[in-house]
Amino acid sequence: MDLTIHHARLDGAEQIISLGITDGKIVAIQETDLPPGEVAIEANGAMVSPAFVDPHFHLENALLSGAANLSGTLREAINIYAGIKADMSRENIVGRAAQALRMAIANGTLWMRNNVDIDQIARLRLLDAICEACDKFAGVIDVQVVAFPQLGLARNPEAVDLMWQAMARGATVVGGMPHGERDMDDAARHIEIAFEIAKAHNADVDMHVDETDDPYWHTLELLADKTIEMGYQGRVTAGHCCAHGCVGQRPCGAGDREGAAGPGQHLHEFAGEPAASRAG
């Protein structure tokens, strides 16, 4: 066998087992020990598990130190970060992202979906730096890069243009943040634009949705409707969805369109397998 792992434990099981792997596939799991393979690892009773998938990350923000967020709000975090990202050097971004990737790999994460800000401040600088960092770990960790228009699309033609460029230049998933727009009409336009770009690139969609306690924002419904309209079921992920937890504070008849997950869940996946697991 190519690889054997000795005296390991499966999650939730007490008995000690040994594992054998050939051609990348597990071919033996047994309680009696195996002869050592070409590479043999002594687990000493530690747990073995499949590699982890991190479905939501922001590498360019990793390991940043700097201004404190005094209000603790998302809006202040975005404003602080707008000032920081304008001045970050490529070397700084690549260095921190590479360190974060190394930590992820060392802790068992081999798939990651990573958001990169695409806007008039960052332009494509963050994207280029993150792609450079990911290239250093090609073949070890599989990173999907989400083009994330954090500063809006509906009234921001420059950001729309940059999103198209980002998808032609290394990003593989279209992101979004419709509740960052001025109102629900602009949020609908934001989602419309994102799907135009996704369709043209045959790309999946993964949005930051309703990341607020304000029940005014219910863009999750718009995203669900658009997903169905475009036949994109199974290819769209909605993250955060915090306002869904306040849904009882406003009239709402559309909750049953929003997938099987209930209020307060961090990620909604519209009728399909987790998108990050389809990396490859």
Give the amino acid at 227.
T
- Whole-number Å distance between alpha carbons of 24 and 53: 18
Classify each residue of 84-111 as buried b or exposed e, where b means 16 or more C-beta atoms within 10 Å of its C-beta: ebeebeeeebbebbbebbeebeeeebbb
What phi and psi, each to the nearest 5 degrees, are found at residue 237? -120, 135
- Whole-number Å distance between alpha carbons of 278 and 140: 16
Asked if residue 244 lies in contact with residue 210, where contact means CB atoms within 8 angstroms, the answer is yes
Instruction: List helix spans (H) across the chain.
Output: 74-85, 90-106, 125-136, 157-167, 184-201, 219-229
Strands 109-117 and 142-148: parallel
Segment (H or E) for 144: strand 142-148
Encoding tokens for residue 67? 């201004």
- Whole-number Å distance between alpha carbons of 50 and 266: 22
258 given a catalytic annotation: no
Phi-psi sector, 34: left (phi>0), alpha (psi -120 to 50), beta: beta
Q: Which of 211, 229, 258, 273 is catalytic?
A: 211
Q: Which residues are catalytic?
A: 211
